[in-house]
Amino acid sequence: MATDALASIRSFAEFYPFYLGEHANRTCRRLHFLGSSLALLCLGALLVTGQWAWLVAGLLCGYGFAWIGHFVFEKNRPASFRRPLWSFMGDWRMYFEIWTGRLPF
Protein backbone atom coordinates (compact mmCIF):
# COMPACT_ATOMS: atom_id res chain seq x y z
CA MET A 1 0.00 0.00 0.00
CA ALA A 2 1.40 3.36 -0.91
CA THR A 3 2.07 5.93 1.78
CA ASP A 4 -0.75 8.05 0.34
CA ALA A 5 -3.18 5.18 0.86
CA LEU A 6 -1.92 4.73 4.43
CA ALA A 7 -2.55 8.43 5.04
CA SER A 8 -6.18 7.94 4.00
CA ILE A 9 -6.82 5.29 6.69
CA ARG A 10 -9.03 6.81 9.36
CA SER A 11 -9.54 4.04 11.92
CA PHE A 12 -7.74 1.14 13.52
CA ALA A 13 -10.30 -1.21 11.93
CA GLU A 14 -9.15 0.03 8.51
CA PHE A 15 -5.49 -0.02 9.55
CA TYR A 16 -5.29 -3.57 10.88
CA PRO A 17 -5.63 -5.36 7.50
CA PHE A 18 -2.81 -3.14 6.22
CA TYR A 19 -0.79 -4.01 9.33
CA LEU A 20 -1.25 -7.73 8.73
CA GLY A 21 -0.13 -7.28 5.14
CA GLU A 22 3.07 -5.71 6.44
CA HIS A 23 3.63 -8.91 8.47
CA ALA A 24 3.06 -11.53 5.78
CA ASN A 25 6.49 -13.06 6.33
CA ARG A 26 6.27 -15.80 8.96
CA THR A 27 9.74 -15.09 10.38
CA CYS A 28 8.84 -11.44 10.82
CA ARG A 29 5.69 -12.44 12.76
CA ARG A 30 7.71 -14.86 14.88
CA LEU A 31 10.24 -12.16 15.72
CA HIS A 32 7.39 -9.83 16.69
CA PHE A 33 5.94 -12.55 18.90
CA LEU A 34 9.31 -13.24 20.53
CA GLY A 35 10.00 -9.54 21.09
CA SER A 36 6.55 -8.97 22.57
CA SER A 37 6.90 -11.99 24.86
CA LEU A 38 10.29 -10.78 26.09
CA ALA A 39 8.88 -7.28 26.56
CA LEU A 40 6.14 -8.71 28.79
CA LEU A 41 8.75 -10.60 30.81
CA CYS A 42 10.72 -7.37 31.20
CA LEU A 43 7.57 -5.58 32.34
CA GLY A 44 7.05 -8.31 34.93
CA ALA A 45 10.66 -7.91 36.07
CA LEU A 46 10.12 -4.16 36.39
CA LEU A 47 7.05 -4.71 38.55
CA VAL A 48 8.82 -7.24 40.75
CA THR A 49 12.15 -5.44 41.15
CA GLY A 50 11.21 -1.80 40.71
CA GLN A 51 14.32 -1.37 38.55
CA TRP A 52 13.51 0.95 35.64
CA ALA A 53 16.24 -0.58 33.49
CA TRP A 54 13.73 -3.34 32.75
CA LEU A 55 11.56 -0.80 30.95
CA VAL A 56 14.44 0.04 28.62
CA ALA A 57 15.16 -3.68 28.14
CA GLY A 58 11.48 -4.29 27.31
CA LEU A 59 11.41 -1.54 24.72
CA LEU A 60 14.64 -2.80 23.16
CA CYS A 61 13.28 -6.34 22.99
CA GLY A 62 9.87 -5.36 21.65
CA TYR A 63 11.03 -2.95 18.99
CA GLY A 64 14.42 -4.53 18.29
CA PHE A 65 13.10 -7.94 17.33
CA ALA A 66 10.25 -6.40 15.33
CA TRP A 67 12.53 -4.08 13.37
CA ILE A 68 14.94 -6.91 12.58
CA GLY A 69 11.95 -8.83 11.23
CA HIS A 70 10.96 -5.93 9.01
CA PHE A 71 14.36 -4.88 7.70
CA VAL A 72 15.87 -8.36 7.26
CA PHE A 73 12.94 -10.65 6.46
CA GLU A 74 9.90 -8.60 5.45
CA LYS A 75 12.04 -6.03 3.59
CA ASN A 76 9.73 -3.16 4.48
CA ARG A 77 9.66 -0.17 6.77
CA PRO A 78 7.92 -0.73 10.12
CA ALA A 79 4.48 0.87 10.27
CA SER A 80 5.44 2.22 13.70
CA PHE A 81 7.38 4.95 11.88
CA ARG A 82 4.16 6.20 10.26
CA ARG A 83 1.38 5.19 12.66
CA PRO A 84 2.98 4.50 16.05
CA LEU A 85 -0.17 4.12 18.18
CA TRP A 86 -2.07 1.96 15.71
CA SER A 87 1.07 -0.10 15.11
CA PHE A 88 1.45 -0.68 18.85
CA MET A 89 -2.20 -1.72 19.03
CA GLY A 90 -1.79 -3.91 15.94
CA ASP A 91 1.20 -5.66 17.44
CA TRP A 92 -0.74 -6.67 20.55
CA ARG A 93 -3.77 -7.73 18.52
CA MET A 94 -1.53 -9.83 16.28
CA TYR A 95 0.14 -11.26 19.40
CA PHE A 96 -3.27 -12.26 20.80
CA GLU A 97 -4.35 -13.74 17.47
CA ILE A 98 -1.18 -15.84 17.31
CA TRP A 99 -1.77 -17.07 20.88
CA THR A 100 -5.36 -17.99 20.09
CA GLY A 101 -4.51 -19.71 16.79
CA ARG A 102 -6.30 -17.18 14.59
CA LEU A 103 -2.99 -16.31 12.88
CA PRO A 104 -0.35 -18.88 11.94
CA PHE A 105 2.85 -18.90 13.94
Assigned domain for 83 exists: yes
Domain membership of residue 46 as a residue range: 35-105
Assigned domain for 26 exists: no
CA distance 69 to 23: 9
pLDDT bin (cut points 50, 70, 90) of residue 4 is low
Assigned domain for 7 exists: no
What mean pLDDT do residues 79-86 have?
91
**pLDDT tens-digit readout, 9-63:** 999 999 999 999 999 999 999 999 999 999 999 999 999 999 999 999 999 999 9
Total domains, the chain: 1
Assigned domain for 45 exists: yes
Assigned domain for 25 exists: no
Assigned domain for 101 exists: yes
Assigned domain for 14 exists: no
Assigned domain for 23 exists: no
What integer pLDDT is reported at residue 3 of this predicted model?
56
